[in-house]
Amino acid sequence: MTGSTAGPALEVTGLAVRTAAGRAVLGSVSYAIAPGEVLALVGESGSGKTTAGLAALGHFRRGLASAGGTVTVRPRDGEPVDILALDAAGRRKLRGNVIAYIPQDPALSLNPALRIGLQIAEVLETHGYPGPVEDRVAEVLAEVGLPADEDYRRRYPHQLSGGQQQRVGIAMAFACRPSVVVLDEPTTGLDVMTQALVLETVRSLTAEHRVAALYITHDLAVVAELADRVAVMYQGDVVETGPADQVLRRPAHAYTRRLLAAVPDLAAEAGAAPPPSDAVLAARGIHVSFGDLQVLRGVDVSVTRGECVMLLGESGSGKTTLSQCIAGLAREYTGTVALEGTSLASATRQRSNDERRRIQYVFQSPFSSLNPRKTVAQSIEVPLVRLTSLSRAQRRDRVAEMLDRVRLGRELANRLPDQLSGGERQRAAIARALVTTPDVLVCDEVTSALDVSVQATIVELLGELRRELGMAMLFVTHNIALAPEVADRVAVLRGGEIVEEGTVDDVLKSPSHSYTRELLANTPRL
C-alpha cells in the first residue's frame, strides 16, 4: 500500500455475506485501501464485487445479510469505526460524509425534479457542512470540470449529457470531502472521450484530496489506466490481489488469465466486407430536429442479411436517436426506413405485427429495460404473446430455449429482475429481443454494462445467431475496441452526420477522419 502511515482509510477483514436461506454470497473477503490510493475490485457478473462494494457502506441488498467480518473506515478527523457494528442511524451519518458512493447509472444518483445545484447543496446541508454552502457547490462543480455559474447550477439532470450527469454525481460524492469513495462502474455506458474525462476527474480528486477509492469494474483496460492495485473476485472470494501492473501483466490465478483473455483487442484481425448492395434494412436521408437543435442531418445507413454494422460515436452524436428511428421508437423524423425494399411507418404502432417482429431492439440499461413486476420468463414471453400465434406450450418451450441460448439458465426463469446481477438482466433483455427470431436486431450499447467475460459470451452468441439465422445487426456503441470481434463494417457518427464508413480493417488501421483518429487515441488499452 501507498499513502499515510497512520493506517488504511478503509480496511475490510473476513467479510462474509449470506442469503436469507443461508447460501454464501461472499466467503471471506479482505482488502485495505490507503488514503489517495485506488483499488480496483474486478470480476464478472455474479462474482460478488458489487455486494462487497455495497457492504463497504454497510448496505446489503434485499435478501442478503452480513455473516461476519469487519468493515473499518477511518474518518479524516477521528478514530476508526466498524460500519457493520453501527445501527442504521449511525451508518446513515457516515454515508456521504465519511464514505460516499457513486452508482453505475448516473441517472440513479440524481433527482430528476431538482436542479443540480440544489441537489449538491442538500448533501452538504444534510451533513452539516461548516462553511458557506453555495461557495462549496461552485467549488466542487469546478473540481469535476463543470461550469460553476448560477445558470448551470439551475439546470435539471435531463438537460445534461450522460457524462455531465456522472460528473455531477461525482461532485455530490466528493462534496463533503469523504475519506473513502466507492465507485460502482461509473464509466459504464459512457463514450471513450467522456470516459477519459471522468477517469481523469476521479484520478485527480482522489490524489489531490487523499481519498481512498474502491473502484468496482469489469473493464480491465480502465483498470490499467486508473488503479494502483487490483483485487480479483471469483465466486465470492478474492482470488488474487497485487499491484495493477503485476496482476494485469503477470496474473497468477487461472481466472484472472481468463478475464484478461476476454478483453477486446483493437489490434485483432477483422474480416473485410464489401458495402451492401442488397440491404435487408436501409435508412435514407434521416433528419431529426428538437426545436432548433439538429440531431441527425440526412444520415444514410444500411445493413445486409447476416451482416453487422457498428454505429460508432460519442454521447450526443445521434447514434441512439438513429437506432430508435429505425425501430419505430422516434416518430418525429424525415427520411425513409425500409425493410427489404418496403418502406416502414415511422411509428412502431403503425407497423404490422410481422414488421415489429422482424425488427427487434435491445436497450442499453439492464436496470430499466425489464418490468420489475414480471419474472424473467414472463418478460421474455411478452413479444411471443403480442407478435406470434404460438400456443402457450410452444411459448414456454421457446422461452426456455432462449434462456439456454443466452447462457442465463432455466433456474432463473421465475426470478424478478432485482434478484439478478446487471449482466444477468441484460442477457434476459437480449433473450426477449431474440425470442421472435427477428431479421434485424438493433443493439443499443448492449455490452456496456457487462463484464469482459460475459461481454465476450454475448458477442460470441450474437455472432452465432447472425451465422445461423442470417440475421442483420446494427450494433450501436461508443466502444470501438469491440469492432474486430463484432462487426463487418463501421459507420462513425459525429454531430448527426456520418463522417467515416468502411470495413473494420480500413477504419481501424487507416482512419481517414480526424475524429476517428481521436476516438482511437482515447480508447483505453491494456
Q: Residue 155 phi/psi, 5° resolution?
A: -75, 150
Judge whether 515 lies within some domain.
Answer: yes
Which SS3 state, helix, strand or coil, does residue 490 take?
Answer: strand
Judge whether 301 lies within some domain.
Answer: yes
> What's the predicted TM-score (pTM) here?
0.65
Give residue 189's pLDDT. 66
Give residue 104's pLDDT. 77
Which domain covers residue 290, as residue numbers?
Answer: 279-521
Judge whether 388 lies within some domain.
Answer: yes
Residue 48 region, left (φ>0) first, then alpha (ψ -120 to 50), else beta? left
Judge whether 331 lies within some domain.
Answer: yes
Number of domains in the chain: 1
Under a CB-based contact definition with an 8 Å cutoff, are residues 110 and 157 in contact?
A: yes
d(CA 66, CA 14): 11
Pure H helices in 388-471: 392-405, 422-434, 452-469
Judge whether 454 lies within some domain.
Answer: yes
Q: One digit per residue, pLDDT tens: the chain, 526 residues?
A: 444 446 899 999 999 999 988 899 999 999 999 999 999 999 887 788 989 999 999 999 889 999 999 999 999 888 899 999 999 999 988 988 899 998 877 667 789 999 999 999 999 998 888 889 999 999 999 988 889 899 999 999 988 877 788 889 889 998 998 999 999 888 876 777 777 888 888 888 899 889 999 999 888 888 888 999 999 999 899 999 999 999 998 999 988 988 888 777 666 655 464 444 578 999 999 999 888 888 999 999 999 988 999 999 887 789 989 999 999 998 789 999 999 989 999 999 999 999 999 999 998 776 778 899 999 999 999 999 999 999 999 999 999 998 988 878 888 899 999 888 777 888 899 899 989 989 999 999 888 767 777 778 778 878 887 887 788 999 999 888 888 989 999 999 999 999 999 999 999 999 999 999 988 888 877 7
Which SS3 state, helix, strand or coil, does residue 324 take?
Answer: helix
d(CA 339, CA 117): 47
Under a CB-based contact definition with an 8 Å cutoff, are residues 249 and 86 in contact?
A: no
Give residue 215's pLDDT. 95
Q: How many CB atoms lie within 10 A of CB 341?
A: 9
Beta strands (DSSP E) in 332-422 are: 334-339, 342-343, 359-362
Q: Which run of H or E residues covers position 507?
A: helix 504-509
Question: Exposed, middle or buried, 122 (CB in 10 Å: 0-12/13-18/19+)?
Answer: middle
Judge whether 33 lies within some domain.
Answer: no
Beta strands (DSSP E) in 205-278 are: 212-217, 229-234, 237-243
List Cβ<8 Å contacts ≥24 apart for 337-344: 337/281, 337/282, 337/283, 337/284, 337/286, 338/279, 338/281, 338/282, 338/283, 338/284, 339/280, 339/281, 339/439, 339/440, 340/280, 340/439
Question: CA Rg, the chain, in Å?
Answer: 24
Judge whether 416 lies within some domain.
Answer: yes
Amino acid identity, position 155? R
Judge whether 215 lies within some domain.
Answer: no
Q: How many residues does the chain have?
A: 526
CATH of the domain at 476: 3.40.50.300
Q: Give the residue carrying C-alpha cell 470495413.
A: 503
Amino acid identity, position 11? E
- Per-residue cell: 64: 442478503
d(CA 204, CA 26): 32
- Per-residue cell: 261: 483473455
